[in-house]
Structure 1
Amino acid sequence: MYERKIIPNLNCGLDLIGEVLYGKWKIRLLWFIDQGYRRPSELQRKIPDASRRVLNIQLKELEDHGLITKKIYPVVPPKVEYSLTDFGKTLIPIISALGRWGDEHEELLRSLILNRLKSES
Protein backbone atom coordinates (compact mmCIF):
# COMPACT_ATOMS: atom_id res chain seq x y z
CA MET A 1 0.00 0.00 0.00
CA TYR A 2 1.17 3.52 -0.79
CA GLU A 3 2.57 5.43 2.16
CA ARG A 4 3.05 9.19 2.02
CA LYS A 5 6.54 10.50 2.58
CA ILE A 6 5.57 14.16 2.88
CA ILE A 7 2.76 15.36 5.11
CA PRO A 8 0.41 17.56 3.06
CA ASN A 9 0.03 21.26 3.77
CA LEU A 10 -3.56 21.71 4.96
CA ASN A 11 -3.44 25.39 5.89
CA CYS A 12 -5.62 26.83 3.13
CA GLY A 13 -8.81 25.94 1.34
CA LEU A 14 -7.11 25.26 -1.99
CA ASP A 15 -4.73 22.80 -0.35
CA LEU A 16 -7.66 21.04 1.30
CA ILE A 17 -9.61 20.85 -1.96
CA GLY A 18 -6.53 19.49 -3.72
CA GLU A 19 -6.20 16.73 -1.13
CA VAL A 20 -9.85 15.74 -1.47
CA LEU A 21 -10.27 16.07 -5.26
CA TYR A 22 -6.77 15.22 -6.49
CA GLY A 23 -7.10 12.27 -8.82
CA LYS A 24 -7.77 12.11 -12.52
CA TRP A 25 -11.28 10.69 -12.26
CA LYS A 26 -12.69 11.98 -8.96
CA ILE A 27 -14.57 14.99 -10.31
CA ARG A 28 -16.10 12.88 -13.07
CA LEU A 29 -17.02 10.15 -10.58
CA LEU A 30 -18.84 12.67 -8.39
CA TRP A 31 -20.64 14.11 -11.42
CA PHE A 32 -21.74 10.73 -12.78
CA ILE A 33 -22.90 9.49 -9.38
CA ASP A 34 -25.01 12.66 -9.11
CA GLN A 35 -26.40 11.95 -12.60
CA GLY A 36 -27.65 8.54 -11.45
CA TYR A 37 -24.81 6.22 -12.39
CA ARG A 38 -24.40 4.42 -9.08
CA ARG A 39 -23.04 0.94 -9.82
CA PRO A 40 -19.31 0.34 -10.39
CA SER A 41 -19.99 -1.21 -13.81
CA GLU A 42 -22.00 1.86 -14.86
CA LEU A 43 -19.20 4.16 -13.74
CA GLN A 44 -16.66 2.02 -15.61
CA ARG A 45 -18.74 2.36 -18.80
CA LYS A 46 -18.92 6.14 -18.34
CA ILE A 47 -15.13 6.37 -17.83
CA PRO A 48 -13.71 3.63 -20.08
CA ASP A 49 -10.16 5.06 -20.04
CA ALA A 50 -9.86 4.38 -16.30
CA SER A 51 -8.98 0.94 -15.02
CA ARG A 52 -11.36 -0.72 -12.57
CA ARG A 53 -8.57 -0.72 -9.96
CA VAL A 54 -8.00 3.05 -10.22
CA LEU A 55 -11.73 3.75 -10.09
CA ASN A 56 -12.05 1.58 -6.97
CA ILE A 57 -9.15 3.41 -5.30
CA GLN A 58 -10.60 6.82 -6.11
CA LEU A 59 -14.11 5.78 -5.03
CA LYS A 60 -12.64 4.59 -1.72
CA GLU A 61 -10.85 7.93 -1.25
CA LEU A 62 -14.07 9.85 -1.99
CA GLU A 63 -15.82 7.64 0.56
CA ASP A 64 -13.04 8.24 3.12
CA HIS A 65 -13.45 12.00 2.61
CA GLY A 66 -17.19 11.79 3.28
CA LEU A 67 -18.29 12.76 -0.23
CA ILE A 68 -19.95 9.46 -1.17
CA THR A 69 -21.39 6.45 0.60
CA LYS A 70 -21.16 2.84 -0.49
CA LYS A 71 -24.06 0.47 0.02
CA ILE A 72 -23.48 -3.27 -0.31
CA TYR A 73 -26.62 -5.32 -0.82
CA PRO A 74 -26.67 -8.83 0.73
CA VAL A 75 -27.28 -10.70 -2.52
CA VAL A 76 -25.28 -13.13 -4.65
CA PRO A 77 -23.47 -11.89 -6.63
CA PRO A 78 -22.82 -8.84 -4.44
CA LYS A 79 -24.46 -5.62 -5.55
CA VAL A 80 -22.78 -2.30 -4.73
CA GLU A 81 -24.16 1.20 -5.21
CA TYR A 82 -22.63 4.59 -4.50
CA SER A 83 -24.47 7.79 -3.67
CA LEU A 84 -23.47 11.32 -2.79
CA THR A 85 -23.62 12.41 0.82
CA ASP A 86 -25.14 15.77 1.65
CA PHE A 87 -21.56 17.03 1.92
CA GLY A 88 -20.74 15.60 -1.53
CA LYS A 89 -23.81 17.27 -3.03
CA THR A 90 -22.36 20.66 -2.09
CA LEU A 91 -19.64 20.11 -4.74
CA ILE A 92 -22.03 19.58 -7.65
CA PRO A 93 -22.70 23.31 -8.33
CA ILE A 94 -18.94 23.92 -8.30
CA ILE A 95 -18.28 21.02 -10.67
CA SER A 96 -21.08 22.30 -12.90
CA ALA A 97 -19.51 25.78 -12.95
CA LEU A 98 -16.12 24.30 -13.87
CA GLY A 99 -17.76 22.34 -16.70
CA ARG A 100 -19.47 25.48 -18.03
CA TRP A 101 -16.15 27.35 -17.92
CA GLY A 102 -14.51 24.52 -19.88
CA ASP A 103 -17.35 24.56 -22.44
CA GLU A 104 -17.10 28.36 -22.83
CA HIS A 105 -13.34 28.16 -23.46
CA GLU A 106 -13.33 24.81 -25.25
CA GLU A 107 -11.59 25.88 -28.46
CA LEU A 108 -8.81 27.83 -26.73
CA LEU A 109 -8.22 25.12 -24.12
CA ARG A 110 -8.13 22.35 -26.74
CA SER A 111 -5.66 24.36 -28.84
CA LEU A 112 -3.39 25.06 -25.86
CA ILE A 113 -3.43 21.42 -24.76
CA LEU A 114 -2.70 20.10 -28.26
CA ASN A 115 0.12 22.62 -28.77
CA ARG A 116 1.69 21.56 -25.47
CA LEU A 117 1.45 17.89 -26.42
CA LYS A 118 3.11 18.63 -29.78
CA SER A 119 5.97 20.50 -28.12
CA GLU A 120 6.56 17.63 -25.67
CA SER A 121 7.00 15.07 -28.44
Structure 2
Amino acid sequence: MSTENANDKSVEGKEKRHGACLGIIQPVQDALYVLSGKWKLPIIISLTFGNKRFSEMAKEIPKITDRMLSKELRELEMNQLIKRTVYDSIPVIVEYSLTDHGKSLSPVIDVLYQWGKEHRQKII
Protein backbone atom coordinates (compact mmCIF):
# COMPACT_ATOMS: atom_id res chain seq x y z
CA MET A 1 0.00 0.00 0.00
CA SER A 2 1.85 3.02 -1.24
CA THR A 3 1.02 6.60 -0.38
CA GLU A 4 3.36 7.86 -3.08
CA ASN A 5 0.72 10.15 -4.59
CA ALA A 6 -1.02 10.99 -1.31
CA ASN A 7 -0.37 14.71 -1.72
CA ASP A 8 -1.41 14.78 -5.39
CA LYS A 9 -4.49 17.06 -5.52
CA SER A 10 -5.18 16.63 -9.24
CA VAL A 11 -8.23 14.78 -10.52
CA GLU A 12 -5.96 12.15 -12.02
CA GLY A 13 -4.23 11.69 -8.66
CA LYS A 14 -7.55 11.32 -6.87
CA GLU A 15 -8.70 8.74 -9.41
CA LYS A 16 -5.49 6.74 -8.92
CA ARG A 17 -5.92 6.80 -5.13
CA HIS A 18 -9.58 5.84 -5.49
CA GLY A 19 -8.65 2.90 -7.73
CA ALA A 20 -5.89 1.84 -5.36
CA CYS A 21 -8.28 2.03 -2.41
CA LEU A 22 -10.88 -0.10 -4.19
CA GLY A 23 -8.13 -2.51 -5.21
CA ILE A 24 -7.39 -3.09 -1.52
CA ILE A 25 -10.97 -3.04 -0.23
CA GLN A 26 -12.34 -5.76 -2.53
CA PRO A 27 -9.86 -8.53 -1.61
CA VAL A 28 -10.19 -7.68 2.09
CA GLN A 29 -14.00 -7.85 1.81
CA ASP A 30 -13.67 -11.21 0.02
CA ALA A 31 -11.49 -12.55 2.84
CA LEU A 32 -13.85 -11.25 5.52
CA TYR A 33 -16.82 -12.78 3.72
CA VAL A 34 -15.20 -16.23 3.73
CA LEU A 35 -14.02 -15.95 7.35
CA SER A 36 -16.97 -14.00 8.73
CA GLY A 37 -18.79 -15.01 11.84
CA LYS A 38 -17.81 -16.07 15.27
CA TRP A 39 -16.89 -19.69 14.58
CA LYS A 40 -14.88 -20.08 11.35
CA LEU A 41 -11.53 -18.92 12.73
CA PRO A 42 -11.84 -21.02 15.92
CA ILE A 43 -12.57 -24.07 13.74
CA ILE A 44 -9.56 -23.33 11.51
CA ILE A 45 -7.37 -22.78 14.58
CA SER A 46 -8.55 -26.09 16.04
CA LEU A 47 -7.57 -27.87 12.83
CA THR A 48 -4.11 -26.26 12.82
CA PHE A 49 -3.37 -28.59 15.75
CA GLY A 50 -4.16 -31.66 13.65
CA ASN A 51 -6.96 -33.54 11.95
CA LYS A 52 -10.11 -33.80 14.05
CA ARG A 53 -13.37 -35.63 14.20
CA PHE A 54 -16.57 -33.64 14.67
CA SER A 55 -16.89 -34.51 18.36
CA GLU A 56 -13.28 -33.49 19.06
CA MET A 57 -13.85 -30.06 17.57
CA ALA A 58 -17.16 -29.66 19.41
CA LYS A 59 -15.31 -30.26 22.70
CA GLU A 60 -12.41 -27.93 21.83
CA ILE A 61 -14.51 -24.94 20.80
CA PRO A 62 -16.44 -23.57 23.78
CA LYS A 63 -20.16 -22.84 23.34
CA ILE A 64 -20.47 -23.93 19.68
CA THR A 65 -23.58 -26.00 19.02
CA ASP A 66 -23.48 -29.14 16.90
CA ARG A 67 -25.80 -27.50 14.39
CA MET A 68 -23.57 -24.44 14.03
CA LEU A 69 -20.40 -26.54 13.82
CA SER A 70 -21.96 -28.62 11.06
CA LYS A 71 -23.04 -25.51 9.13
CA GLU A 72 -19.65 -23.83 9.44
CA LEU A 73 -17.78 -27.00 8.43
CA ARG A 74 -19.90 -27.21 5.25
CA GLU A 75 -19.12 -23.57 4.39
CA LEU A 76 -15.39 -23.99 5.07
CA GLU A 77 -15.38 -27.11 2.88
CA MET A 78 -17.25 -25.25 0.13
CA ASN A 79 -14.55 -22.55 0.24
CA GLN A 80 -11.84 -25.24 0.03
CA LEU A 81 -10.32 -24.34 3.39
CA ILE A 82 -10.96 -27.74 4.94
CA LYS A 83 -11.28 -31.28 3.67
CA ARG A 84 -13.81 -33.83 4.90
CA THR A 85 -12.61 -37.44 4.72
CA VAL A 86 -15.01 -40.34 5.26
CA TYR A 87 -13.37 -43.65 6.21
CA ASP A 88 -15.14 -46.84 5.21
CA SER A 89 -15.29 -48.47 8.60
CA ILE A 90 -17.85 -49.61 11.12
CA PRO A 91 -18.85 -47.23 12.52
CA VAL A 92 -18.13 -44.74 9.76
CA ILE A 93 -15.41 -42.28 10.76
CA VAL A 94 -15.41 -38.71 9.41
CA GLU A 95 -12.31 -36.61 9.84
CA TYR A 96 -11.67 -32.96 9.02
CA SER A 97 -8.34 -31.44 8.04
CA LEU A 98 -7.00 -28.19 6.66
CA THR A 99 -6.29 -28.00 2.96
CA ASP A 100 -3.16 -26.25 1.71
CA HIS A 101 -5.43 -23.28 1.01
CA GLY A 102 -6.62 -23.37 4.63
CA LYS A 103 -3.04 -23.66 5.89
CA SER A 104 -2.22 -20.49 3.95
CA LEU A 105 -4.22 -18.60 6.62
CA SER A 106 -1.56 -19.35 9.24
CA PRO A 107 0.28 -15.99 8.86
CA VAL A 108 -3.05 -14.14 9.03
CA ILE A 109 -4.00 -15.97 12.23
CA ASP A 110 -0.56 -15.29 13.71
CA VAL A 111 -0.92 -11.54 13.04
CA LEU A 112 -4.48 -11.50 14.44
CA TYR A 113 -3.28 -13.38 17.53
CA GLN A 114 -0.47 -10.89 18.15
CA TRP A 115 -2.71 -7.88 17.53
CA GLY A 116 -5.39 -9.33 19.81
CA LYS A 117 -2.90 -9.84 22.66
CA GLU A 118 -1.59 -6.29 22.31
CA HIS A 119 -5.10 -4.83 22.03
CA ARG A 120 -6.26 -6.69 25.16
CA GLN A 121 -3.26 -5.33 27.11
CA LYS A 122 -3.94 -1.82 25.87
CA ILE A 123 -7.62 -1.72 26.83
CA ILE A 124 -7.42 -3.64 30.13
Shift of 1:21: 0.4
Counterpart CA distance in 2 for 1:108 and 1:45 is: 31
**Structure 2 matches for 1:70-109, cutoff 5 A?**
70-109=84-123
For residues 18-72 of structure 1, the C-alpha deviation after alignment (integer angstroms, 9 at most, x for no partner) is: 2210121100100110112511111101113010110110011000001010001
Counterpart CA distance in 2 for 1:108 and 1:76 is: 52
- TM-score, normalised to structure 2's length? 0.74
Give 2:47's aligned amino acid.
Answer: I
**Does the 8 A contact of 2:54 with 2:94 survive in 1?**
yes
**In the alignment, which residue of structure 1 is the partner of 2:31?**
17
Structure 1: gaps of 5 or more residues: 1-10, 112-121
In the alignment, structure 1 residue 61 sits paired with structure 2 residue 61: no
SS in 1 for 2:52: coil
Structure 2: gaps of 5 or more residues: 1-24
**Does the 8 A contact of 2:86 with 2:92 survive in 1?**
yes
**Structure 2 matches for 1:45-56, cutoff 5 A?**
45-56=59-70
| Aligned counterpart for 2:53 among listed residues 23, 39, 46 | 39
Aligned length: 100
Note the aligned Cα RMSD (angstroms): 1.5
**Does the 8 A contact of 1:37 with 1:43 survive in 2?**
no
Larger CA Rg, structure 1 vs 2: 2
Moved over 3 A (4+): none
Counterpart CA distance in 2 for 1:106 and 1:36 is: 28
Counterpart CA distance in 1 for 2:56 and 2:110 is: 21
Counterpart CA distance in 2 for 1:20 and 1:82 is: 18
